[in-house]
Structure 1
């Protein structure tokens, strides 16, 4: 009788191995062979689910975004509507776990991917979804111009990704948090 494989679990294992390689060697270290070695199997173990390097990177990005969505869900659900924008913005400017690795991966994909890259499309969808979340939260917070507030926060927080990589000691969560908090108050028109 064949062994049943949990495809979701297998894809998560492959994503974790891919991110481990990115952390250790950078994006150039990601190959089907390297991922297979990391999970202790043959290349077929990987290619049965993800046949190309591009698919490996896309899978890693999708899993990372899914993890971030899970982390953010209680923040959004737990905040009253008026405070949701501040809560989401504060969450978005923190760094924990493998956030640095994920940001490096995202920046490398953005800088190096072919315009037709599926990983690039996943990142663009996530950016649009986050922008929409900011716009909804800004409207709930009573911002006079929710679309403008979303635009500003999107640009500032995506800029935080870059700044936290280029000078992590200077642009830590501890420094960025109060700046973003003040910015939210200015955009909403609060004290």
Structure 2
């Protein structure tokens, strides 16, 4: 009798392995062989579900970026303009754990040389920019473009700078800096 395999669970297991490898060693270390070794399966088992490395990366990164998008959209639903802007940015800076921050840092670094990662990061950044600018425009600052650019640079910088010491800054420290940004922008 054939063994029943839950295909969705197998794909999730493979994608989780991609994330674990990328967080630990960067996306350059993500290979079909490394993923197979991580889950204790053959390379053909991985390619059966994912095809090749490009599909493997795209599927995994899209799952994670789509999850972040859904979380952010849900968090700001039914909020007023200023509270929605603050919550939207806090979702990026304060909610994710260290593992998630490391995944994003690995993706940003990997996007410099991997076209799949670049395309997926660009896809997410297009969404982020559209959402951020929409939230900023609703709070009506004096210069919406400047405010959106400052917030964007601040978010990127805080995520990357937080790793200078080998780990992201604690959420309390990030929240303190974010409060300073809101005051500086008059928000």
**TM-score, normalization: structure 2?**
0.82
**Corresponding residue of 2:173:** 175
- Give the aligned partner of residue 64 of structure 2: 64
Q: Please say if residues 82 and 142 of structure 1, whose CA atoms lie closer than 8 Å, have aligned partners that are also in contact.
A: no
Cα pair 1:134 1:149 within 8 Å, conserved? no
Partner of 1:80: 80
Which runs of 5 or more structure 1 residues have no equivalent in the other structure? none
Task: Return closer, same or farther for 1:25/1:84 CA change in 2, 3 Å cut-off.
Answer: same
The TM-score, its normalising length taken from structure 1, stands at 0.81
The farther-off stretch of 121-130 and 141-150 is 141-150
8 Å CA contact retained: 2:108, 2:121? no
1:76: how far off? 1.2
Matches of 2:169 and 2:98 in 1, distance apart?
17
Out of 152-161 and 44-53, give the one that drifted further: 44-53
Within the candidate set 160, 163, 166, 1:162 is matched to: 160
Counterparts in 2 of 1:63 and 1:97: CA distance versus 1, 3 Å: farther
Q: Which residue of 2 aligns with 1:139?
A: 137
Quote the offset at 1:108 in angstroms: 2.5
**Deviation sequence 1:72-92 (CA, Å, 0-9, x none):** 233211532331111112222
Q: Is the 8 A contact 1:54 1:119 kept in 2?
A: no
Q: Give the SS at the match of 1:166.
A: coil
Cα displacement (A) at 1:9: 4.2
Query: Could you say if the C-alpha distance between residues 89 and 140 of structure 1 is closer, same or farther in structure 2, counting changes exceeding 3 Å?
Result: same
Matched residue, 1:111 = 112
The structural deviation recorded for 1:164 is 1.7
**Native 8 Å contact 1:84 1:141 kept in 2:** no
Structure 1 residues 185 and 134: CA distance shift in structure 2, 3 A? farther
CA contact (8 A) 1:19 1:60 kept: yes
Q: How many residues align?
A: 186
